[in-house]
A and B are shown apart, each in its own frame.
Chain A
Amino acid sequence: GNSVTQMEGPVTLSEEAFLTINCTYTATGYPSLFWYVQYPGEGLQLLLKATKADDKGSNKGFEATYRKETTSFHLEKGSVQVSDSAVYFCALSPRGYNKLIFGAGTRLAVHP
C-alpha cells in the first residue's frame, strides 16, 4: 500500500540553525511527493513538490530531493527563522490518482 512516515516532533531550533525533517514513503509505482506547511490557525499550503526521481523541489529556502533508492524526501533549510515555526506535512500522490496521502506532520518551533 501507500504510506508516508515522517519524524516525530516537536523539533525545536534556534534561529539560523540548520533544519532537517525526515520523510520516507512506501508506494507502488512512482508517486509525486510534496511538502505542505500549516501555520497556526491556517490551512495547509504547498511548500514544494517533486514529480520524479532525483528532482529537487525548492521554495523559500527549503529544499527536498526525491530519492527513489532510499524512498525518501527529506526537507532541509540552511538557516531557519522564527517565522518558519509551523507544522510540516510530507505527502505523496500515487501516479494516476488525484489523492494525497499525508504523514502525521512534524511541528517546528524556532526560537530567537
Chain B
Amino acid sequence: DAGVIQSPRHEVTEMGQEVTLRCKPISGHDYLFWYRQTMMRGLELLIYFNNNVPIDDSGMPEDRFSAKMPNASFSTLKIQPSEPRDSAVYFCASSLGAGEGADTQYFGPGTRLTVL
C-alpha cells in the first residue's frame, strides 16, 4: 500500500492568498484526520471525518480554515485568506473504522506551509 499521500510537500505563499492542502488516505480506511504541528503549540488535531462526514471540527482555529471530504479517497484543507501565523506543518492521517487495530492512525509525510 502507498500509505497516506499528501500534496504539496512544501508550499510557500504570500499573506492573503488561498492555500489548499490535499490528502489521499489509505484505501479502506474510514477515518481521516487533519493535524497541525508547530514548535509553540505542538501537534493539534484540527478536524476529523468518519465515512466522509466531519465528526469533530472543534480544533479548527477560525473561519478562515475549512475542510472537505468529497469522497472516500480525497480530502482538502483550505485556508482563505492565509496569514503568517498559519505557517506550520500540516499532517493528514487515516485509520480503520472498526476491528483490530481500528484506533491506530497512519500519518502522511506532511505539508510544510510557509506564509510570508
Contact = CB atoms under 8 A, between A and B. Distances in A.
Contacts of B42: 102, 104-105
A98 B91 contact: no
Contacts of A102: 42-43
Interface residues on B, range: 20 to 34
Given A98-B50, A99-B56, A49 B110 contact: no
B95 A105 contact: no
A98 B106 contact: no
A86 B10 CA distance: 21
Contacts, number: 43
Interface in A56-95: 89, 93
A42 B105 CA distance: 15
A44 B106 CA distance: 8
Contact of B43 (A42, A93, A105): A105
B102 interface: yes
A65 B62 CA distance: 39
B104 A46 contact: yes
B48 A99 contact: yes
Contacts of B102: 98
A98 B95 contact: yes
Contacts of B104: 34, 46, 49
- With a 10 A CB-CB cut-off, give which of A89, A97, A100 has the most chain B CB atoms: A100
Given A43-B4, A99-B56, A105-B43, 6 more contacts: A89-B43, A93-B103, A97-B103, A100-B45, A100-B105, A102-B42
Interface of A: 32, 34, 36, 42-46, 49, 89, 93, 97-100, 102, 104-105
Interface of B: 4, 31, 33, 42-43, 45, 48, 50, 56, 91, 93, 95, 97, 102-110
